[in-house]
């Protein structure tokens, strides 16, 4: 029987700032209180479990922790130049530049920091911790507002 395990919201929310790239330029720097929900699909094993909740929660906490209260920077953005010096990170396009304290920044291996990209990134971070279980599919939803969310989905097998 297909079973869906869901963990999220509450402690799995995080606040972060970002400035998405649109047509090669940054939108205004702004923040969200992102809410994250992980859904795992599969058939329970002989023990009656799809996967131990504590394992799922730990993996999700670990993936989210570095993003909390940080400015998310797209480290693979071709239109942006990122430099670090004197405990600061500078990121610039032809039209805008930001200089931020290095401790307040996370440079992600992404081309953009859209909600879609963040959802995919978090799912990639969680999956290695969930291998070897009875899972067939994993979905990770990121909501940036009560009426706006994105779901990244991957077949596990």
Domain ranges of the chain: 3-69+114-155
For the segment 93-120, the average pLDDT, to the nearest whole number, is: 93
Place of tokens 């994105």: 150
Place of tokens 């029987």: 1
pLDDT at 157 over 80: no
Write the DSSP string, 81-143.
EEEEETTEEEEE-SS-EEEEEGGGEEEESSS---HHHHHHHHHHHHGGGGTTSSEEEEEEEEE
Q: Which fold has domain 3-69+114-155?
A: Tetrahydropterin Synthase; Chain A (3.30.479)
The model's pLDDT over 36-76, given as tens digits with 9 standing for 90+, comes to 999 999 999 888 888 889 999 999 999 999 999 999 999 99
pLDDT at 96 over 80: yes
Q: Which of 120, 15, 28 is nearest to 70 (CA)?
A: 15
Label residue 79 by pLDDT band (50, 70, 90): confident
pLDDT at 94 over 90: no
What is the predicted pLDDT for the residue at 112?
94
């Amino acid at each position: 029987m297909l079973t869906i395990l869901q963990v999220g919201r509450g402690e799995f929310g995080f606040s972060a700032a970002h400035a998405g790239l649109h047509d090669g330029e940054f939108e205004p720097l702004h923040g969200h209180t992102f809410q994250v929900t992980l859904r795992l699909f599969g058939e329970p094993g002989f023990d009656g479990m799809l996967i131990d909740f504590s394992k799922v929660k730990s993996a999700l906490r670990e993936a989210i922790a570095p993003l909390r209260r940080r400015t998310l920077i797209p480290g693979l953005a071709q239109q942006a130049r990122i430099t670090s010096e004197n405990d600061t990170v500078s990121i610039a396009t032809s039209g805008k530049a930001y200089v931020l304290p290095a401790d307040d920044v996370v440079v992600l291996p992404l081309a953009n920091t859209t909600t879609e990209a963040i959802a995919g990134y978090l799912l990639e971070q969680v999956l290695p911790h969930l291998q070897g279980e009875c899972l067939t599919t994993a979905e990770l939803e990121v909501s940036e507002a009560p009426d706006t969310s994105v779901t990244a989905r991957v077949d596990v097998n």
